[in-house]
Amino acid sequence: MSFGRFYRLIADNADVIGFGIWVTIQLAIVSMMIAVILGLIACLGSLSRARILRFPSMLFVEFGRNTPILVQLIWVHFAWPEILGIKFSAWTSAVIALSLQSSGYLAEEFRAGIESIDKGQIEASQALGMTYQRLMRRIVVPQALMRMIPGILNQFVTCFKSTSIVSVIAVPDLMYQAGLIVSMTFLPMPVYSFVAFLYFVMVMVIALGVRFATRRLPQFGYFNQRHGGE
Amino acid sequence: MQLDQPVKPLVRLSGVWKRFGKLEVLRGIDLDVNEGATVAIIGPSGSGKSTLVRCLNHLEPIQDGAIEIDGFLITPRGVEKSGRLLGQREVAKFRTLLGMVFQQFNLFPHLTVLGNIIEAPTGVLGRDRAAVTEEAMDLLAKVNLADKANVYPARLSGGQQQRAAIVRSLIMHPKIMLFDEPTSALDPELIGEVLKVIGELAIKGRTSIIVTHELAFARDIASKIVFMDAGLIVEEGPPDKLLTSPKLDRTRAFIARIL
């Protein structure tokens, strides 16, 4: 295939590809935002002394981490409507599955972050009259979150790559749009090559940004210390 | 002159035992601390000094005996008031009666110095933010840290961190101040500035209990010195007596080693 024909192919389908990229980015961002909140709740639940909170939280975390994303996606999309009696759009199913997976991993990272907080911090808070809830909210979780920033960003990269799987339930992400173009043009080689290149560039840019941000972090307030976030 | 006028102790420990598993850290402690008194606790490391102080604000539960503090009673069951066991929230409230200064300062690294100081009075006691901030700046000026109010703790020296930590306790207006080896983690040249703040500001007009290795300082400020060894109070008395003519060889040997 000549460069001219390749250029025409891409230019003619630029809007289809562009829409796919937009859906992919949206999926990654929305899923991650939900996953951070869910992960934090699940983490606090699994650290709780109350068994009624701890057990379901741990189950949630382990399920999210120990089942393949494809299985979660298919399960949510085809089984949940029957279990819950509500019909989801493919986009909603995709967000739920991606959040489920990411929140499992994030919960583990949060837990490690919370457990890394010096015990002296907790004792100082208690000595100042803070209740467990207050010292978690005001002292422990904010410090853990700051330590978790690199972990959250890395999980975002993983989540971004995982979004390509949602094409199997016809969410019009970049991968799905590429399939559409192939079925219209019968040109899998140039289309999929270009899509691979696009994913590579996008993920590379995000990963570089993450690395840059992580390296810059130690220069800000709280991180500006001898043994701050790595 | 009524020499025998009874002074009711603000803190009274009777037969306090503390165990970590099989390790017996406190083995029946009896101690009275009168209102307004400054008690210095000295003794070799591992003698249970820190644990004793940490039992007073219930950071460590006790296994036997009782501690009376200003109408509250700490027993192996927890903290009680008028015979009723207090819940988590009430225990937290009880702790505001006592301020505590730690060996490792334990400032909150994600808050500025000012943020550290106003966190508990505004959050726990619900006091007005503006008024608390004003008081905080006033206290910071007294400990020579006025220019560090908006700096994060990591940027401060150990001595500065400990002075900020003392202000963080004082702003809660505790009835009793506890110091757990407040200068042990400091470089020698920074110890003086912290002792000065403790002596001139923190213990003024306040019942205080200080665990320390600074015997000269203890002599200057304490109304009573308590010598602990192996989980027991082996000797106590006024500073001049205890430091210059101790009754027991153990005490004498310890003092000779430190001085």
Query: What three-state secondary structure class fits B136?
Result: helix
The mean-pLDDT minimum among A119-128, A216-225, B126-135 falls in A216-225
Q: For A67-116, how does the pLDDT look when each residue is reduced to its tens digit (9 = 90+)? A: 999 999 999 999 999 999 888 899 999 999 999 999 999 999 999 988 98
Distance separating alpha carbons of residues B131 and B227, to the nearest angstrom: 41
Contact B180, B102 (CB under 8 A): yes
The CATH number that applies at residue A78 is 1.10.3720.10
Distance from the B211 Cα atom to the nearest Cα atom in chain A, whole angstroms:
16
pLDDT value, residue A221: 54
Structure-token match 């999929």, residue found: A192
Contact B25, B48 (CB under 8 A): yes
Residue span of the structural domain in which A82 resides: 3-227
pLDDT value, residue A75: 94
Work out the angle at residue A33's Cα, subtended by the Cα atoms of residues A30 and A39, and round it to the nearest 5 degrees: 130
Q: A-B interface: how many C-beta pairs under 8 angstroms?
A: 77
Q: For A23-42, how does the pLDDT look when each residue is reduced to its tens digit (9 = 90+)? A: 999 999 999 999 999 999 99
Distance separating alpha carbons of residues A110 and A126, to the nearest angstrom: 22
- Residue A18's H or E segment, with its range, is helix A14-47
- Interfacial residues of A (vs B; Cβ cutoff 8 Å): 118, 120-121, 123-132, 134, 138-139, 142-143, 146, 221-222, 224-226, 228
Query: What three-state secondary structure class fits B13?
Result: strand
Query: What three-state secondary structure class fits B246?
Result: coil
pLDDT value, residue A218: 62
Number of domains in chain A: 1
Provide the residue-wise pLDDT of chain B in tens; the chain has 259 residues.
455 556 779 999 999 999 999 999 999 999 999 999 999 999 998 899 999 999 999 999 999 999 999 999 999 999 999 999 999 999 999 999 999 999 999 999 999 999 999 999 999 999 999 999 999 999 999 999 999 999 999 899 999 999 999 999 999 999 999 999 999 999 999 999 999 999 999 998 899 999 999 999 999 999 999 999 999 999 999 999 999 889 999 999 999 888 7
Is residue B120 within 8 angstroms of chain A, CB to CB? yes
Distance from the A133 Cα atom to the nearest Cα atom in chain B, whole angstroms:
10
Q: For A192-206, how does the pLDDT look when each residue is reduced to its tens digit (9 = 90+)? A: 999 999 999 999 999
Nearest to A129 among B92, B112, B165 (CB): B92
Q: Which residue stretches of chain B are H helix? A: 49-56, 88-95, 113-123, 129-142, 158-170, 188-197, 215-221, 239-244, 249-258
Here the contacts of A81-88 (C-beta below 8 Å, separation 24 or greater) are none
Q: For A132-182, how does the pLDDT look when each residue is reduced to its tens digit (9 = 90+)? A: 999 999 999 888 888 888 888 899 999 999 999 999 999 999 999 999 999
pLDDT value, residue B259: 74
CB contact under 8 A, B169 and A226: no
pLDDT value, residue B17: 97
> Strand B23-34 to strand B9-20: parallel, antiparallel, or no bridges (unpaired)?
antiparallel
Structure-token match 């399920």, residue found: A63
CB contact under 8 A, B92 and A120: no
Nearest to B123 among A121, A138, A226 (CB): A138
Distance separating alpha carbons of residues A62 and A95, to the nearest angstrom: 19
- Neighbour tally for B77: CB within 10 Å: 10
User: Cβ contacts (< 8 Å) between A50 and chain B: which residues?
Assistant: none
pLDDT value, residue A230: 28
Nearest to A134 among B95, B123, B172 (CB): B123
B 92-111 near A (Cβ less than 8 A)? 92-93, 95-96, 98-100, 102, 104, 106-110
| Distances from the Cα of B174 to the Cα of A167, A171, B48, B177, angstroms | 63, 61, 24, 7
Instruction: Check the CA dihedral B51-B54-B59-B64 and report its sign.
Output: positive
* Of the candidates B251, B221, B252, B256, the residue with the CA atom closest to the CA atom of residue B239: B221
Interface test with B, best of A116, A125, A128 (most B CBs within 10 A): A128
B 147-186 near A (Cβ less than 8 A)? 152, 154-155, 165, 168-169, 172
- Neighbour tally for A170: CB within 10 Å: 13
Work out the angle at residue A87's Cα, subtended by the Cα atoms of residues A82 and A91, and round it to the nearest 5 degrees: 120
Radius of gyration of chain B, Cα coordinates, nearest whole angstrom? 18
Contact B208, B226 (CB under 8 A): no
Contact B177, B146 (CB under 8 A): no
Give the ipTM: 0.93
Instruction: Please give the full DSSP string across A58-75, using - where no structure is assigned.
Output: HHHHHHHHHS-HHHHHHI
Query: What three-state secondary structure class fits B111?
Result: coil
Contact A87, A81 (CB under 8 A): yes
Question: The tokens of B233 are what?
Answer: 């109070």
Task: Report if pTM > 0.90.
Answer: no
Query: What three-state secondary structure class fits A170?
Result: coil
Contact B121, B172 (CB under 8 A): yes
